[in-house]
Amino acid sequence: MMWDLSGGGQGSPPYYAQQYPGTSSSAPSFPAVPGGYHTGPPPMPFMPIGAPGSDNIMVDRYHSSSAGPWTVPDASPAPVARSPVSVHVHSHHRTHHSHSHSHSHGHSHSHSHSSRPVVQQHSSTPARLTRTRPQPDPIQPVQTSAHAGHLQQPHFIYSKCTGRKKALCIGINYRGQPNQLHGCVNDARNVQNFLMSHGYKARDIEVLTDDTSDPRRLPTRANIIEAMRRLVQSAHPHDSLFFHYSGHGGQVKDRNGDEIDGYDEIIFPLDHKSAGHISDDLMHTIMVKPLPPGCRLTALFDSCHSGSVLDLPYLYHSDGRVKGSQVTARWHDYKSTPADVISWSGCKDSQTSADTWERGVATGAMSHAFVSSLTQNPKQSYQELLRSVRVVLKKKYSQKPQLSSSHRIDTNLRFII
């Protein structure tokens, strides 16, 4: 199915290239999950998160000639981006100048003279959309000299993942909202099932989705933050924690100078219009900083603009080399940790991630690729898995999955959870 995005606004009727979701003979099948999957109707016409119906939102009109990850070679329903395409989400109450992308090193705009960066948690004011196009992701080379202070964490320990296993899976379809998605709840259930097949017990996996009537299980901002805290509570060396988020993502102006590109990455809770977003700074503070050496946290983000959404300072090429950092030099040591923290994200900071269909089932492209790759071949190194999910997605989508870590890792080692 294709949507007419060239005009007419929200009320424009869809143009159907094919009435129902098609199937792909090469797409891996999904394992069965308790409660079944949401197949539902074809995706609704894409609208930016929070729009329409909000007085403080500005929306760009998207044209059919615009390039984007929804472009597919066949007649199956067009995937829907999980954030505005070619639009940054910015905080409307503060300004900040982004760094020049022609420089090889980022420069902090902070005027603080403290020797240690000050963590600023974002307010709960809902974000707004502006008409700024995303720029290519700037990368700062990681320094290795002692004077730069960017050495391996002295107490870092690779996790054996032999301790307790806990997980938090979040899927938000934003039911009833104009920016509704279709595959996120399925993603949460599919990842939950995948983890249970890898030694995680059902009682140790917390799931927050917006298809429940239990208010304690809804993915509101307060519930998500409390669930994040429970996930890392009482963590020990060689525990294996897993965090999965499938939903809308975006960017706001960086407020503390830790971002090379001048923008913090954010995720959108179900109640983001009233309670606000959750920033990468806050997620790092809650889920990364408290972890002890040797404790593993694996994060999987299936959302737009998620390349550095956990603020981890080491970013990798698919050949295993460290390609740099999107964390500024001043913050590099603070964002590094002796814990074993790994993040897999569906796209670069400047890209969008697709909400799509595989074999007639609504899904997020990254969640599907990650689970399918490890189901077909459980014994993969970090770089093999990164290449594998990129190969799966490259067939249909322009998004490029990213791998980052809180410490420099040997990507030839086998990835374990």
Return mean pLDDT, the chain: 74
Looking at residues 388-404, what average pLDDT do you find?
95
Q: Is the pLDDT of residue 196 over 50?
A: yes
Predicted pLDDT of residue 326: 87
Give per-residue pLDDT as tens, 268-304: 999 999 999 999 999 999 999 999 999 999 999 999 9
Are 265 and 249 contacting, i.e. CB atoms less than 8 angstroms apart?
A: yes
- pTM exceeding 0.75: no
Are 365 and 78 contacting, i.e. CB atoms less than 8 angstroms apart?
A: no
d(CA 266, CA 281): 9
Q: Residue 266 has which token pair? A: 């954010």
Predicted pLDDT of residue 179: 86
State which of 4-8, 56-60, 201-205 shows the largest mean pLDDT.
201-205
Predicted pLDDT of residue 106: 35
Looking at residues 78-88, what average pLDDT do you find?
51
Looking at residues 293-319, what average pLDDT do you find?
95
In sequence order, the 6+-apart residues with CB closer than 8 A to the CB of 337 are 153, 288, 289, 291, 406, 407
Report the catalytic residues: 248, 304
Residue among 173, 281, 177, 265 nearest 218 (CA): 173
Give per-residue pLDDT as tens, 207-264: 999 999 999 999 999 999 999 999 999 999 999 999 999 999 999 999 999 999 899 9
pLDDT band at 150 (very low <50, low <70, confident <90, very high): very low
Looking at residues 323-349, what average pLDDT do you find?
93
pLDDT band at 156 (very low <50, low <70, confident <90, very high): confident
Domains and CATH numbers, the chain: 78-93+126-147+161-417 (3.40.50.12660)
Looking at residues 98-112, what average pLDDT do you find?
36
State which of 46-50, 72-76, 310-314 shows the largest mean pLDDT.
310-314
d(CA 368, CA 28): 9
**What are the Cα distances from residue 46, in Å, to 55, 179, 237, 248?**
19, 6, 43, 12
